[in-house]
Structures are given as C-alpha cells and as structure tokens.
Amino acid sequence: MSNKFTILGVDPGTTATGYAFLSADLSSKNNLIPIEYGVIKANPGLKLQKRIEKIYNKIKILVKNYKPDEASIETIFYAKNVKSILSMGEARGAVMLALSQENIPVYEYSPREVKRAVVGNGNASKKQVQYMVKTILKLEEPPLSYDITDAIAIAICHYHKKNSANRQVTKSQHRRYSKK
C-alpha cells in the first residue's frame, strides 16, 4: 500500500468555492505539496440554481483532471443568517454529489477543527490561518483569497488527521508484532 495520495480540500460557498489539491506522503514528515488551488466564482446576480450548477460542473472537471484519492470539505457552521446557511448547504451538496459520482471518499471537518489542526487554536483568525498555510506549504506568498486559504487548510487538516491515525495503526502493529 502506497503512502502517497492526493487530497482535495473544499471551502464551499455559492458565490466563491475555494478548492485545493495537495500531494501528500504519510511516510515522510510534513510532506505536503500544492498541486493546484483556486476559486470557483459565481456571479451573485445569477440564480442560485445556475451558481450551484457551475460549482458542480467545475468540481467534476477538476476531479477528472487531478484525480484526488480523498476529499475534505468544511461542515456547515452556525451563522446568524439562515439563508446563507441554506445556500452553503446547497453548495456543499453540489460538491459532494460530484465527488460521490467519482467514488471519492469525503471527510468533513468543522471550521474550529480545521483552525486547531492548522494553527493550534480553534478560534484563530483567517489571517492566522493564511499565515500558517503559507508556512506549512513553504509558499513565497500566501494565496490572496481566504476561500483558497481555507480550502488548503481543510486539506491540511485531513492530512494531519490521516497521518495521526496512520501513526496509531503503526504503533499498535509494532506492539502486536514485537511482543512475544
């Protein structure tokens, strides 16, 4: 079994959906390499149906081009505006449908969980997340959009969770085989 895989991180939104593809290697410490990242922008003047369709179609194209092994997406968080929660859910649905149709496993993480994994603080600001993304990936400049930074952070969070689980399995296997 190879320890190398590609992660897609997605920060869903109906006017801007951030995405990031990272190459990861569990056999090497801190081995995350950005492959591609960007934002799917949809004109807020378009009907929601058309914006959702654009997100779905673009994710399908990106998935076919970059062939991620796993995807990670942000969960819906509490917001004062119910309408924005619902539209974010619709954007998430479009992304999850596109990924499901390609049989890509999807892992969900809360904003607090992502911030804790990347910054070490679940209440970190977007600026702090952006700085840590730049540092972790050794980028000369951080991505200009917080939508991109958040998508990268979601992918990094998934990598850390998977790497942590992998270390636990390796330790238990070691114990199991080393005891007589």
Query: How far apart are the C-alpha atoms of 163 and 63, rounded to whole Å?
Result: 23
**Is 80 in contact with 163 (CB distance < 8 Å)?**
no
Start-to-end CA span in the chain (Å): 26
List 25, 36, 74, 141, catalytic entry: 74
Q: Which of 102, 113, 140, 147 is catalytic?
A: 147
Residue entry with tokens 């969070």: 157
Catalytic residue check, 25: no
Cα dist from 21 to 10, 113, 148, whole Å: 9, 19, 11
Which residues are the active-site residues? 11, 74, 147
